[in-house]
Every structure is written in C-alpha cells, then in structure tokens.
Structure 1
Amino acid sequence: MQKIILPFVSGFLASLFFREATLALLHAAQVIDAAGFSTDPFQPLGLPEFLVNAIWSAFWAVLMAWLLRVSPSRPAPWVQAFVFGGLVLTAATVFVVDPLRGIWPSGNMLPRLAMGFGSNAMWGWGALVFMRAFMNETDED
C-alpha cells in the first residue's frame, strides 16, 4: 500500500496544498499573472485545470517515490524531491502536455520555465512531506 496508494494520495494533496498554493501566493504578490486553482476547463475532458493537474501529479508522485526510494527507514531525500518536481514536471508540461494541447515552446521561455520550476519544485517537496507524514514505521520497503 505504501508503494502506490500513499504516494498517489500524497501527490494529489501536494498539488492542491503546495503547487497551486504557491501559484496563488505568487499571483497575490503580483509576481506572476497566472493565478492558482484555475477553473478553466482542461480540454478534452472539461475538468478544471487544477483538478487535472492534481490527478497527473498523483501519478508523478508514484514515480518519484519509486525513483527516490522513499521509505520510513531511509533519510528523506528533500533536495532530490525538490529537484525532481522542478525539472521533471516542468519538462513534461512544456515538452509533452502543452504540445499535445497545441501550445508549442517558442519565444522567451525563461519566465514560464522559472514559474513552472518554482511551483513544481514546491510540489515535489510537498509530496515528500505528505509521504513521510503518511508512512508507517513498521512497514518494510
């Protein structure tokens, strides 16, 4: 259960409480234009964007837990989770998800990549926070 369900739930919650909250705080500080918790419909499903992001983040958290070997018996890989979220999720969004939606990388990508890295890095850190909070010390790897 700790290998799939807990990372899945942790990734979903981290998307809501860390990634989207980071975007909302940056928007409130007038650093970025995009606000967190976007309710714009994500095509072709029509679900709100923040919910689709949370579902995808849950799948990425399972991969992160497996790659970083997150377990209660090992030290928590805080920096690696931060970097995993920032690099992997941002790259997946820019080079896979957006082109599938018809949005191609062009022009000055630095502001968009910086915003993506920051919010997704906070997701990685938050996913690890939830994973460590939910894990039971008696379970094996």
Structure 2
Amino acid sequence: MQKVILPFVSGFLAALFFRESTLALLHAAGLVDPAGFSTAPFLPLGIPEFIANALWSSIFGVLMAWLLRIAPDRSAPWIGALVFGGIVLTAIGVFVIGPARGVWPSGNMLPRLAPIFIANAIWGWGVLVFMRAFMARGEPH
C-alpha cells in the first residue's frame, strides 16, 4: 500500500498545497497570468483544471517515488524531487498535455515555462514533504 497509495495521495496533496499555491503567489507577484486554482473546465472531462492537475500529479507522484526509490530507511532525495518535478511535469505539460488540448510549443518558450518549471519543481519537493511526513518508520527495538 505504501508504494502506491502514499505517493498517489502525496502527489494529489502536493498539487493543491504546493504547485497551485506557488502559481497563486507568482500571479500575485505579477509574474504569471494564470492564477492557480483555475476552475476553468479541463476538456474533455469538464472538471476544474486544478482538480485535473492534481489527478495527473497523483500519477506522477507514484512514478517519482518509484524512480527516486523513496523509502523510510533511505535519505530523502530533495534535489532529485525538485529536478523531477521541474523537468518531467513541465515536459509532459508542453509536449503531451498541451498538444492534446491543441496548444503546440512554439517561439521563445523560456519566459512562459520558467514560472511553470518553478511551480512544478515546488510540487516535486512537496510530494517528498508529504511522503516523508506520512511514511511509517520501523518499530524501535
């Protein structure tokens, strides 16, 4: 259970508490247009975008936990979590989710992707925070 459910729940919570909050803060600072917690319908499902992002993030939380081999008896891979979130989630968003919704990568993407990269990297860190907080340690002898 701990190998699938915990990363799934951690990915979902990290999307809500870390990624979306980071986007909201970046919007408040005037750095990005989208303001986190978007209630615009995510097509084709019709659910709010922030819920759809959290569900996708749940799946990637499981993948991240498996790739980084996160376990209670190992030290936490903080840098790996930041890099995984920043690179993998941003790349999936640009090259898979975007084209599926009719948005193709074009032009100078760095100004648009930098804040998204930051929010996704914070998501990766947040997944690790939740996983480490919820992981069961072995019974003391």
TM-score normalised by length of structure 1: 0.96
Q: Does 1:67 align with 2:67?
A: yes
Structure 1 runs (4+) deviating above 2 angstroms are: none
Q: Distance in 1 between matches of 2:29 and 2:98?
A: 26
Percentage identity across aligned positions?
A: 71
Code of the residue aligned with 1:33 in structure 2: it is D
Are the equivalent residues in 1 in contact too, given 2:86–2:121 (CA < 8 A)? yes
Secondary structure in structure 1 of the residue aligned to 2:99: helix
**Is 1:42 matched up with 2:42?**
yes
Residue identity matched to 1:103: V
1:56 aligns with 2:71: no
Gaps of 5+ in 2: none
Could you say what secondary structure the match of 1:30 adopts?
coil
Structure-2 separation of matches of 1:59 and 1:20: 17
Shift of 1:90: 0.2
What CA deviation, in whole Å up to 9, does each residue of 1:86-130 have, x standing for no partner? Answer: 000000000011001110001221112112210000000000000
TM-score (norm 2): 0.96
Alignment of 1:61-140 (within 5 A): 61-138=61-138
Q: Which runs of 5+ in 1 are unaligned?
A: none
Contact preservation (8 Å) 2:26, 2:32 = yes
